[in-house]
Amino acid sequence: MIWTLTLVFFCCTAASAQANRVEYDYFKYHTIEEINKWKIDMAAAYSDVVTIIDYGQTYENRTIDLLKIGFNGTQKKIIWMDCGIHAREWIAPAFCQYFVKTLLESYKTDPKVEQMMKNMDFYVTPVLNVDGYVFSWINQTTRLWRKNRSPGPCGCTGTDLNRNFYSNWGTVGVSFDCCSQTYPGQGPVSEPEAQAVSQYLGKISDSVLAFLTIHSYGQLLLIPYGHPETIAPNQDELMEVGLAAADAIEKVHGMKYKVGTSPTVLYPNSGSSRDFARLQGVPFCYTFELRDDGTHGFVLPEDQIRPTCEEAYSGAMHIISYAHHKVYNRGASAGGSVCGTVLLALLAYAHTLL
């Protein structure tokens, strides 16, 4: 009986025994040099499931890369996540790093995560707008930089990369003053960063189940499309899944997120990567606008990194789990967790000893 209860205890505490093998502070903001080292360290520490893929160059010739996370396999589906398309939104790269860390800490002890990693690969870009992110770290005068760093035709620098994609480009929510924060560029996909995403996503789009692009701020889950006259063919399902994800977010720390198209809950926009992904046939496309509601805005204090990441992880995993279940038809309770199965078996055995 003592042996039985000991084994039960061991099984149900196994999930907490897996420690992160990379020393890193996930609850502070990091420079690009620190993030780059972290990527290399994660790929080395989890070499069985993590590889780094380069897929583009920025205007200033910095590498754009992603972490590919998953078991080896063929014909696998893909979950895409990118962070930091807007330079000043530092909480977004912080979340991408937290997402990777949490995913990798759980796959050996959570059968559901393990199964997802067998069926799908996670493609995570921690910082998409690398040049802009580097510029935002120079000093306080550059901290709120939003765009990339390519020169504009009127003497100002930068294009809003989330207005530069081939999705109703230049129609609403933009300004063609190149000094504007919402300048969409001289043409659709004119910027090397948008080209990198467009070209790479175009090659893999048939396999991508969900496209999650992480921004701040506003506490929103935005679905396609940003143009008020364009409606996604699966809008009802996108809303249903988004509302359930918002519920999952709220259950963590009580934070409420609004769900809807950009025109209905924020403002119209065009040329977004989210809309481009949906046009490519990716079924589940969402923009996460993380904390907060405007009190701190883009300068979210570091003491809010942890709760922001914890709640957003819950929302993201709901969307990912839904997409996975829809394709692979694995019931939420099919088999339960290993701990649950072993626990029931051991308790049944213990009952026979009484």
What residues are labeled active site?
289
Residue 329 backbone class (left: φ over 0; alpha: ψ -120 to 50; beta: rest): left
Three-state DSSP at 193 gives: helix
Give first-to-last CA distance, the chain, whole Å: 9
| CA-to-CA dists, residue 116 to 79, 207, 327, angstroms | 10, 14, 11
Calpha distance 309→290 (Å, rounded): 9
Structure token digits, residue 103: 């995913």
The conformation of residue 88, written as its DSSP 8-state character, comes to T
Pairing of strands 50-57, 77-83: unpaired
Length of the chain: 354
Three-state DSSP at 223 gives: strand
Exposed (0-12), middle (13-18) or buried (19+): which is 331, by Cβ within 10 Å?
A: exposed
Q: Of 198, 203, 126, which is closest to residue 162 (Cα–Cα)? A: 198
Q: Of 219, 234, 11, 25, which is closest to residue 110 (Cα–Cα)? A: 11
Phi, psi for residue 248 in degrees, rounded to 5? -65, -40
What is the CA 201 to chain-centroid distance, rounded? 15
Calpha distance 162→269 (Å, rounded): 9
